[in-house]
Amino acid sequence: MALIPGAICGPKALMKELMGLSLGPVMILGPTMNPREAFELSARLPHLGLRVKKQCNRAMKLALRIKKLDPSLTVIYPGLEDHPQHKLLDSMRNKGYGYGGILCIDMKTAEKANVLLDKLQNRYHFGFVAVSLGYYENLMSASGSSTSSEMDPETMKRLGITPGLIRFSIGYLGTLDQKWKQFKDAYKESKIRGMSVDTKYVELCRGINGLDKIILREVRGCSAEVYLYGAHVTSWKNEHGEELLFVSSKAIFKPPKAIRGGIPICFPQFSNLGSLESHGFARTSSSKAFIDLILKHSEEDVKIWPHRYEFRLRITLGPGGDLMLTSRIRNTNTDGKSFTFTFAYHTYFHVTDISEVRVEGVETLDYLDNLKNRERFTEQGDAIIFESEVDKVYLSTPTKIAILDHERKRTFELRKDGLPDAVVWNPWDKKAKTIPDLGDDEYKHMLCVEAACVEKPITLKPGEEWRGRQELSAVPSSYCSGQLDPQRVFMSEKFGFA
């Protein structure tokens, strides 16, 4: 900060020119202060060092939290070790004063930057959009479309000013946790907007125990609900508001417990077929992104499964209310090692009465019976009916399976790709009583039919990617799987990943 005292004498025309806010020295040197403002400023100067320390400390903590929130986001702050001038500034700075109060993030496009700025200022009150560089409140601006907009593209590129660059001048008003919550909520909501989705069909809100969830709505009134914890679909309703998925009334919506019901994701291990906890850890992890959910390895993951990966899950509520899940898993190991995994969409269907339900499409197929130490048998009946506990893995199944709820006169159609097996499970009465987060009689109203890859695990070399898909629909009829439209294709095929 520099204070330039003095007096200027001259005609009124000169005074007017010098005092103009858009032209003349005042734009560069700052306006002339009246005596009161000068006195108040001088009274605050002795505390400037304390405020700068707090500003630097907060900027450092915010930079670290933002990097952890979304590792794919470019965060520019000289206090971060990956900053090209970190060591230089570290050698020059006064110890204890940090690395400054200015940090930047790159949202890639001007549209995404402006969406985030709007959320930060107008919805979550994180700070003010302004080109100034010092205030007790956070200030922020998109440099590429404001202060640097008159530069030619070549100069902007040379200076690292991208269209999506947002510059923050960090203030010290409010607590760090308050400001972090405002930023985090605004960023999450802006990511939904960034998907070019009409926000009246997508809502980010709080669910049970304060967990983040997304509600997807379709124009006819169908809906789906997805908890970011575990990328877990917990609700799927038709246009009449009828729930099509089962979630236990005793489900525990609290980490690290998995949610009982809906569609848990089993990765990198199905059931206890390996050394990890049953069904792996994906269903108890937090995803970072929304409609397209992204799960990457954490340090905790690597300790129990020593591989690096990227798991992308797209959840789409299509025209007519079909629910589509598409998973992409990529091996991102840098040590040249392959990895092997099994996978399942652990779907819980809501049925009226399990004794009035049958599953068609797996008749005459071989299966592994989990109730008999995974011995291999061949299905003899023309359909699966339920009179006792069932826990089977059907092998080399067709791409279409039907679940008929006779009492409701409803048929669930399950279509799948990249998932050759199908798991069918109902715990029945005795087993249900041993499951803490399942009501004693709730087995009557649930059935798990899971698109899976169990018998032959998937192996990926570094850089390779696997894709698996599941599409669910519910129709008000009771025809068998053999009558399902063979020409129907996955609606999710037309949705490409960003």
**Long-range Cβ contact pairs of 82-88 (< 8 A, separation 24 or more):** none
Of the candidates 369, 390, 365, the residue with the CA atom closest to the CA atom of residue 379: 365
Measured CA distances, 270 to 46, 110, 333, 343 (Å): 63, 42, 22, 6
Q: Which helix (H) or strand (E) holds 118?
A: helix 110-118
How many Å apart are CA 24 and CA 55, to the nearest integer? 31
8 Å CB contact between 394 and 365: yes
Question: Measured between alpha carbons, how far is 103 from 100 in angstroms, rounded to an integer?
Answer: 8
Structure tokens at 271: 């059931």
Active-site entry in 189, 218, 450, 455 = 450
Cα–Cα distance list, 160 to 125, 131, 443 (Å): 28, 18, 59
Q: What 8-state DSSP symbol labels residue 456?
A: E
Evaluated on CA atoms 180, 181, 183, 184, the torsion sign reads positive
The DSSP call for residue 439 is -
166 strand-pairing partners:
105
Q: Among the options 279, 307, 346, 350, which is catalytic?
A: 346
CB 366 within 8 A of CB 339: no
DSSP 119: I
Give yes or no for a contact between 46 and 39, defined as CB atoms under 8 angstroms apart: no
Closest CA to 237 of 254, 253, 215, 208: 215
DSSP H or E segment with residue 90: helix 86-92
User: Residue 314 is which amino acid?
Assistant: R
Given a contact cutoff of 8 angstroms between Cβ atoms, the answer to whether 432 and 417 are in contact is no
Active site residue 450: yes
Please give the structure tokens belonging to residue 235.
């609700």
Nearest to 120 by CA among 183, 198, 168: 183
Q: How far apart are CA 61 and CA 367, in angstroms?
A: 54
Terminal C-alpha separation, the chain = 45
Q: How far apart are CA 487 and CA 182, in angstroms?
A: 48
Bridge partners of 74, per DSSP, are 106
List phi, psi (to 5°) of 314. Answer: -105, 125
Q: Residue 208 gets which letter from DSSP?
A: G
Measured CA to CA, the distance from residue 10 to residue 381 in angstroms comes to 104
Hey, which residues are catalytic here? 346, 450
